[in-house]
Amino acid sequence: MLTEVFTRHSSDCPHRDNRYYKRCRCRKWIAFAGEDKRVSAGTRSWEEAERLAHRLAGDSAAASETVAEGVRLFIEDQKQQNHSKNWIYKHTRELGELATYCAAQGIKLLSKLTLPDLEDFRKSWPGIGITRSKRQERLRQFFRYCMKHKWCSDNVAANLSKIKVEATETLPLTREQFEAALKAVAKYHPRGRNPEWRRQRAAAMLMLCRHSGLRISDAARLERSKLLANDALLLRTTKTGQHVYVPLPPDVARLLRKLKNDNPKYFFWNGTSARETPGIRWWGTIKAIFEAAGIPDSHPHCLRDTFAVECLIGGIDIKKVSMMLGHSSIAITERHYLPWVQARQTDLDESMRRMWAQSEPRAKKAAAAARNR
């Protein structure tokens, strides 16, 4: 028998619209799936109500939860955690496919899913290695949730073999390619009102991403207050409370300040759409500009790569570059950009050898002159 805990809120509770809110002190109740039956849990604690619900469901509860119902409850729990719409969408789509697969295979209960079943299900996943690897981690997350609720005795997804992820190729733009992209903006024909204003915004976005290393999603929601009077851009504040800045070229800072926007708080965002929307739209815009510039294989992240590579070639320490990029560890920076660190070291070595080669004849002449004195 399946049970479900819910909160019966008091009339003055600020969370009364969410019957699954756990933290208020309103009374908790238990509903029985498939029956018009509800009983008071006799407690205001969600955890105690859940323990009682499991006892009422009987010892067979772990073997009675269906795949479809487990997916539904998991998605509801994710929504309560204030995840983004994109996060919820991915889980809903992927776990919906799991439920469909199980239904086609005649697998009704979560406890009946086996490792061979998941291996067979994994064969249908599209995408490259990194995409499939992230999907597998989300599947493991779902089964961890199921284990906590005792709907299955083992995290079957944890036993899936690791998906090999090929190192993504870092593709910085050459200076000629970036100049071509800026020229392509003038030929860009955006949809909607005021195309000239939209072209100015596109040029500003290209310059901002190239000289700040911001991801397109972060640049699209950048607040004007982050650009300081000295033309330094406040990228973020670390866990230690340390601010991370990157100085912008004066012409880029002026371009941003002159940029008009419907919402004065932001450079580009109107502040009313979903947080994911501006980044998605700008990705398509920059991609179209690159295609018009004759570099169709490039994408907005190449601007971030260009910033990082130019910093490294210019002699900035990789630790500082890692901090500006916001990487959680320097290992991530090295994995993506180590070839340019090595290239810079090779260039330094060659410069030193050229210097030695030029100074050696002068040294020999000076030694001979000293002997002849």
* Rounded Cα distance, 95 and 125, in Å: 12
The dihedrals phi and psi of 109, each to the nearest 5 degrees, come to: -100, 145
Residue 360 falls within a domain, yes or no? no
Residue 59's pLDDT is 43
* Rounded Cα distance, 293 and 183, in Å: 8
Residue 283's pLDDT is 93
Residue 278's pLDDT is 92
Residue 75 falls within a domain, yes or no? no
Q: Tell me which residue range forms the domain holding 302.
A: 175-335
* Rounded Cα distance, 148 and 58, in Å: 16
CB 234 within 8 A of CB 228: yes
Structure tokens at 55: 């006892």
Residue 373's pLDDT is 59
Q: How many CA atoms lie within 13 A of 48 on its CB side?
A: 10
Q: Which region, left, alpha or beta, applies to residue 13 given φ > 0 means left and ψ of -120 to 50 means alpha?
A: beta
* Rounded Cα distance, 69 and 192, in Å: 44
Residue 243 falls within a domain, yes or no? yes
Residue 368's pLDDT is 60
Query: How would DSSP label each residue in 80-126?
Result: HTT--HHHHHHHHHHHHHHHHHHHHHT--BGGG--HHHHHHHHTT--
Number of residues that make up the chain? 373
The dihedrals phi and psi of 205, each to the nearest 5 degrees, come to: -65, -40
Residue 294 falls within a domain, yes or no? yes
* Rounded Cα distance, 27 and 13, in Å: 11
* Rounded Cα distance, 256 and 144, in Å: 46
* Rounded Cα distance, 264 and 270, in Å: 9
Residue 88 falls within a domain, yes or no? no
- What pTM was computed for the model? 0.60
Residue type, 356: W
Burial class for 59, CB neighbours closer than 10 Å (0-12, 13-18, 19+): exposed
Residue 302 falls within a domain, yes or no? yes
Residue 264 falls within a domain, yes or no? yes
Residue 62's pLDDT is 45
DSSP bridge pairs for 244: 236
pLDDT tens sequence for the chain (373 residues): 578 899 999 999 999 899 899 989 999 999 877 667 788 988 999 988 888 887 776 544 444 589 999 999 999 999 888 777 778 889 999 999 999 999 999 999 998 899 999 999 999 998 888 889 999 999 999 999 998 888 887 899 999 999 988 766 668 899 999 999 999 998 888 777 788 999 999 999 999 999 999 999 999 999 999 999 999 999 987 666 778 999 999 999 999 999 999 899 999 999 998 888 899 999 999 999 999 999 988 999 999 999 999 998 888 888 999 999 988 888 888 888 877 776 555 665 666 677 767 766 655 565 666 566 5
Residue 281 falls within a domain, yes or no? yes
State the CATH number of the domain containing residue 188.
1.10.443.10
The dihedrals phi and psi of 137, each to the nearest 5 degrees, come to: -65, -35
Number of domains in the chain: 1
The SS3 assignment for 154 reads coil
Residue 150's pLDDT is 84
